[in-house]
């Protein structure tokens, strides 16, 4: 079995599909094309598929469950369906202009059935628009070059449809082959063919394809709903509607043996059927289902206020034990706003209730201030060993009522004049943060706590490791619930930067894979949103923006899913009077605007809202 590298092949296909999902949701056509090319290289040959099917039967008969092989075959089948859709997209004229989301994504996966119907809808739209272009060309003076250009860019299937229609009304002896040179003659014939209401054949065809496009988009939507609900009744309704639609449109284009007089009625009947029957049934079905399903691109409520009525007051009053895990903390190590956010949150929890037990797990970086190092040295460290046999020690420091658990390890010794916790090179950063992930997860398991609170990409792997190693304990609640806060959703914050140097987290993601924490090369940011029990971010506005495709940095699907499940809450960052007090800080005391005028930044809780709003913030 090892000869075939089944698990490796599955991981490769799955990772490539994940790249396709992110690129499609982010409307990045270049990345979509690259992902499709990679998928093309991962698909199994026909011989390999037959061989694996034989192996699956043999294993089922003599050895047990061939789950790994079946998974690979299913992955490969799905891959081939994606590639088939992709080839059809590439054959579509001007497809980049018409297609906003090339692939339909349902629950973070490519939905090939819905994608195929969407493809048909785009094709019908293109046909309708091309017919309108032909009508414009016929009505306005045009040159030979314009006619040739339009003829050559018109899909062959549409040209055939136009030929069949015009031929039915022309006497056999006058029928000639359609070419670029005589294209205007054919358009004259089609414009002259009118039904009882004075509608020309071109107008009717354009209208028919517009209706067809609308129906196909509705069927696409129904397919997405169908996959979400997995309802037998819905499946039957969608199948019936789809068949009815296909049967209705099969009567056009007409066959040569149809009487000329019946042509107008065929198109009119097809239009009427689409309008009165299929579309009305679809509208009715969608209305019935709208309360049972969710829109893949809908934004969800994320305010903290929505949660307050759900929490009993006595629970809020109870003391809480929280273990924070992060890489920065003001007064210890600070390279960005994360340090201040972590400081403010811990002090806020303590100020809220002095009985709250607040712990912070940090790497014991060698660049800590001398005053902190001196306090740490007063107490001997505690020694531990992980299940894998890795030895480490923890220094404990209590400051301002907060317990700091500082993990000691050679990886946390920083070198250089301007030493950074995110440098000096990829390999060092990988080793540093993978080590911290492993040791912080081990320490968190040993620490009695009500909640484990993780901050940003640096420690996202802690949640993955705890869930992977303790699946039963996670479900029973033996492993405490995990809160994950993202302070940034950019590609860098997801470990997706491709350039080398500082803040390049690709190496960290690779390190998590090598350590077995991330089992596949997937987006770690998206994965931690799935496994966390609760997700928060820096404001309600940012929580909404993170759900939107345009500002979701390619992972909006995962954020929307977390919001839909009620896991995501936007909690605005508060002010930090400890570090930034306008009444004490000399810089803030004399803050001036761009025009040189002094600005009063003072603020205190007793200041009236009217006074606050009247303050001149910008000069």
pLDDT in tens, 404-417: 999 999 999 998 77
Q: What is the mean pLDDT of residues 95-111?
A: 67
pLDDT band at 449 (very low <50, low <70, confident <90, very high): very high
pLDDT at 293: 45
Q: Determine contact, residues 592/329, Cβ cutoff 8 Å.
A: no
CA–CA separation, 114 and 123 (whole Å): 14
pLDDT band at 510 (very low <50, low <70, confident <90, very high): confident
CA–CA separation, 461 and 464 (whole Å): 5
Conformation bin of residue 94: beta by default, left when phi > 0, alpha when psi is -120 to 50: left
CA–CA separation, 187 and 174 (whole Å): 15
CA–CA separation, 111 and 544 (whole Å): 25
Task: Compare 287 and 303 and report the one with higher pLDDT.
Answer: 303
Q: Residue 107 pLDDT > 70, yes or no?
A: no
Q: What is the mean pLDDT of residues 202-226?
A: 74
CA–CA separation, 247 and 240 (whole Å): 11
pLDDT band at 396 (very low <50, low <70, confident <90, very high): very high
Q: Determine contact, residues 404/318, Cβ cutoff 8 Å.
A: no
C-alpha angle with apex 219: 215 to 221, nearest 5 degrees? Answer: 120
pLDDT band at 256 (very low <50, low <70, confident <90, very high): very low
DSSP type of residue 105: E
C-alpha angle with apex 368: 367 to 371, nearest 5 degrees? Answer: 135
Q: Determine contact, residues 70/56, Cβ cutoff 8 Å.
A: yes
Beta-ladder partners of 360: 324, 404
Q: What is the mean pLDDT of residues 99-118?
A: 75
Q: What is the mean pLDDT of residues 519-542?
A: 85
Distances (CA, A) of 22 to 27, 34, 173, 573: 9, 12, 58, 29
* Cis peptide preceding 424, ω within 30 of 0: yes
- Tens digits of residue pLDDT in 174-212: 556 777 677 777 777 777 766 656 677 777 778 777 877
Q: What is the mean pLDDT of residues 50-77?
A: 82
Q: Looking at the domain that runs over 321-570, which CATH code has it been given? A: 3.40.50.2000
Q: Determine contact, residues 129/95, Cβ cutoff 8 Å.
A: no
CA–CA separation, 450 and 443 (whole Å): 14
Q: What is the mean pLDDT of residues 383-396?
A: 93
pLDDT at 2: 42
Rg of the chain in Å (alpha carbons): 32
- Tens digits of residue pLDDT in 267-282: 455 545 555 555 555 5
CA atoms within 13 A on the CB side of 94: 14
Return the percentage of the chain with pLDDT > 90, whole number: 21
* 3-state SS, residue 83: helix
CA–CA separation, 513 and 543 (whole Å): 28
CA–CA separation, 484 and 324 (whole Å): 10
Q: Residue 441 pLDDT > 90, yes or no?
A: yes
Q: Hey, where are the domains in the chain?
A: 33-75, 88-252+276-297, 321-570
Backbone angles phi, psi at 403, to 5 degrees: -90, 120
C-alpha angle with apex 273: 271 to 275, nearest 5 degrees? Answer: 70
Conformation bin of residue 512: beta by default, left when phi > 0, alpha when psi is -120 to 50: alpha
CA–CA separation, 67 and 403 (whole Å): 47
Element (H, E) at 568: strand 568-570
Element (H, E) at 406: strand 402-408
C-alpha angle with apex 574: 571 to 580, nearest 5 degrees? Answer: 160
* Cis peptide preceding 253, ω within 30 of 0: yes
- Burial of residue 197 (CB within 10 Å: 0-12, 13-18, 19+) is exposed
For residue 240, count other CB atoms closer than 10 A to its CB: 11
**Selection from 338-342, 349-353, 356-360 with the highest mean pLDDT:** 356-360
pLDDT band at 295 (very low <50, low <70, confident <90, very high): low
Q: Residue 617 pLDDT > 60, yes or no?
A: no
CA–CA separation, 514 and 416 (whole Å): 28
pLDDT at 292: 44
Q: What torsion do the CA atoms of 38, 40, 41, 46 make, to the nearest 10 degrees?
A: 160
Q: Residue 487 pLDDT > 70, yes or no?
A: yes
**Of residues 115, 82, 101, 118, the one with CA closest to residue 27:** 101
CA–CA separation, 22 and 35 (whole Å): 10
- Burial of residue 450 (CB within 10 Å: 0-12, 13-18, 19+) is middle
Q: Determine contact, residues 26/554, Cβ cutoff 8 Å.
A: yes
CA atoms within 13 A on the CB side of 345: 26
Q: Residue 89 pLDDT > 50, yes or no?
A: yes
Task: Compare 15 and 140 and report the one with higher pLDDT.
Answer: 15
């Amino acid at each position: 079995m090892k000869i075939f590298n089944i698990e490796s092949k599955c991981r490769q296909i799955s990772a490539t599909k994940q790249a396709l999902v992110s690129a499609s949701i982010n409307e990045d056509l270049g990345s979509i094309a690259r992902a499709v090319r990679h998928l093309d290289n991962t698909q199994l040959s026909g011989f390999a598929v037959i061989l694996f099917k034989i192996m699956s039967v043999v294993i089922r008969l003599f050895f047990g469950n061939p789950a790994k092989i079946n998974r690979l075959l299913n992955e490969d089948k799905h891959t081939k369906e994606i590639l088939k859709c992709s080839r059809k997209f590439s054959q579509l004229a001007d497809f980049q202009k018409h297609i906003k989301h090339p692939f339909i994504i349902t629950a973070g996966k490519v939905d090939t059935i819905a994608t195929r119907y969407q493809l048909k809808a785009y094709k019908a739209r293109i046909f309708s628009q091309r017919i309108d272009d032909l009508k414009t060309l016929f009505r306005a003076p045009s040159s030979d070059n314009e006619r040739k250009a339009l003829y050559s860019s018109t899909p062959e299937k549409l040209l055939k449809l136009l030929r069949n229609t015009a031929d039915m009304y022309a006497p056999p002896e006058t029928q000639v082959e359609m070419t670029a040179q005589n294209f205007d003659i054919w358009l004259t014939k089609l414009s002259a063919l009118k039904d009882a209401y004075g509608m020309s054949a071109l107008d009717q065809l354009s209208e028919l394809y517009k209706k067809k496009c609308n129906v196909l988009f509705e069927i696409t939507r129904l397919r997405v709903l169908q996959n979400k609900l997995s309802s037998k009744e819905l499946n039957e309704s969608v199948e019936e509607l789809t068949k009815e639609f296909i049967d209705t449109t099969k009567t056009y284009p007409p066959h040569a043996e149809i009487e000329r007089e019946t042509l107008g009625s065929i198109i009119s009947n097809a239009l009427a059927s689409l309008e009165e029957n299929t579309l009305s049934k679809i509208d009715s079905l969608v209305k019935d289902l709208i309360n049972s399903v969710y829109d893949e691109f809908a934004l969800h409520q994320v305010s903290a206020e929505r949660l307050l009525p759900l929490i009993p007051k006595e629970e809020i009053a109870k003391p809480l034990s929280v273990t924070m895990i992060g890489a920065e903390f003001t007064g210890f190590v600070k390279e960005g706003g994360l340090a201040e956010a972590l400081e403010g949150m811990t002090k806020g929890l303590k100020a809220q209730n002095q009985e709250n037990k607040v712990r912070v797990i940090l790497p014991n970086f060698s660049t800590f201030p001398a005053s902190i190092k001196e306090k740490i040295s007063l107490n001997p460290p505690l020694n531990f060993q992980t299940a894998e046999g890795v030895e480490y020690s923890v220094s404990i420091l209590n400051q301002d009522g907060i317990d700091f658990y500082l993990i000691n390890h050679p990886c946390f010794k920083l070198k250089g004049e301007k030493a950074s916790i995110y440098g000096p090179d990829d390999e060092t950063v990988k080793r540093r943060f993978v080590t911290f992930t492993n040791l912080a997860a081990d320490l968190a398991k040993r620490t009695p706590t009500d909640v484990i609170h993780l901050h940003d990409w640096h420690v996202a792997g802690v949640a993955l490791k705890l869930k992977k190693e303790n699946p039963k304990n996670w479900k029973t609640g033996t492993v405490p619930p995990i809160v994950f806060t993202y302070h940034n959703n950019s590609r860098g914050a997801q470990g997706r930067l491709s350039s080398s140097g500082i803040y390049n987290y690709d190496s960290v993601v690779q390190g998590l894979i090598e350590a077995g924490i991330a089992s596949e090369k997937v987006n770690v940011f998206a994965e931690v949103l799935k496994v966390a029990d609760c997700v928060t971010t820096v404001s309600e506005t940012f929580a909404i923006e993170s759900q939107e495709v345009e500002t979701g940095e390619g992972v909006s699907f995962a954020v929307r899913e977390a919001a839909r499940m009620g896991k995501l809450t936007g909690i605005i960052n508060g002010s930090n009077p400890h570090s930034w007090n306008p009444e004490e800080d000399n810089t803030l005391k004399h803050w001036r605007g761009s025009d040189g005028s002094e600005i009063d930044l003072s603020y205190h809780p007793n200041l009236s809202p009217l006074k606050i709003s009247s303050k001149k913030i910008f000069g």
